[in-house]
Amino acid sequence: METFRQTRRSHTRYDRGARNISGCGLAGMMSLSGERTDGRLIREAIGLLHDRSNGLGGGFAGYGIYPEWPDHFALHMMYYSLEAQEDAEKALRHNCEVAREEKIPTRPIPTIVDPPLLWRYFVRPKGDLLVERQAPSEDDFILDLVMTINRSVEGAYVFSSGKNMGTFKGVGFAEDIGEFYRVEEYQAHIWVAHGRFPTNTPGWWAGAHPFTLLDWSVVHNGEISSYGINKRYLEQFGYCCSMRTDTEVMAYLLDLLVRRHKLPVPIACRVLAAPFWRDIQQMEEPERRLHKTLRQVYAGALVNGPFAIVFAHKEGMVGLNDRIKLRPLVAARKDDLLLLASEEAAIRTMCPNPDVVWAPRGGEPVIGTLGSMEVEGEPKRRLEEASA
């Protein structure tokens, strides 16, 4: 045990020496009706999955936490030096109207050591620059700003950039990270959480999950063996992968497919976890034609390797496995609650008596949408019982 403590104290900024066997725990809870709850339940759920992580990363994302700033982008920033903060703020003030800036509230936790400077800014792009640069939207303007800061400002990282949502993450066990960031003080209608057990990528503060871009947030268990292809594909559309981990491409792919290319979420999931060619050949028309087209047009967006992800956005929450389900993912439903986790025990921490619990099939998404009581991927038997 002493050896482990010494290892934790010796973490470098990028923890380049940390390589461990994969585990990772993930959890998500969503009120389909939009009712907000504080972060205590999600912190307890991810804490129950403690043994799936090793203390090299944990984090949370909450939606609806900034209702007083619904039209401003909430930029959460990590700084490793005062010079980095000065340079990043210069870029922010040049490009945006900053309505409010402050330290992100934290509390001292013995197990959380050497955190970077943590700040948040509520901003809107400057109107004249939107016109001058012919940005298609405010979202695209902020996307370019996030990529520029993360790529060009040494020691500064934007780790959350959506509206009325925020990410809280760092190096530590997830339950400790939750206590550090005081997540119980925030109210959200969607929560996602992650406990990390890094394998091929370093465990450092900006490399913890969730990974976000604009209002997309992703938590991931597994490995993306197609990372190089996905990265090169995304770079053609202006995305820059700078966080030194494979999961980053998931958030960017979702932004590209759904926000920019306007694909419905179920179709985007079919791109990420596409059916095998042999299965496509056995489909009936027009389904076969659709999937052949998706495979051909979005070949660079296909994600290979074992994965389970939970991702959220302003309109809902989704759980998705790789097409042969090489990582665990369990779903449950109770009234207007949709629950997702690596293990059923974590679900029952959030909801002791769910109406139904099921394991989604590989490549078959579970999709919850705000304002709708129907969940795509929910077992038909449950739906028939509800209508009886």
Active site residues: 24
Helices (H), 190-320: 227-235, 248-254, 265-272, 277-281, 287-297
Cα gap 177→60, rounded to integer Å: 8
Nearest 5°: the CA angle 351, 170, 245 is: 100
CB distance 195 to 42 below 8 Å: no
Cα gap 121→149, rounded to integer Å: 14
Q: Residue 61 contacts by C-beta under 8 Å, 6 or more apart in sequence? A: 160, 165, 166, 167, 168, 190, 191, 192, 193, 210, 212, 217, 219, 312
Q: Residue 303 contacts by C-beta under 8 Å, 6 or more apart in sequence? A: 224, 226, 230, 249, 250, 253, 272, 273, 322
Cα gap 80→157, rounded to integer Å: 9
Nearest Cα to Cα of residue 186 among 104, 259, 124: 104
Cα gap 317→30, rounded to integer Å: 7
Phi/psi of residue 263, nearest 5 degrees: -75, 140
Cα gap 247→211, rounded to integer Å: 7
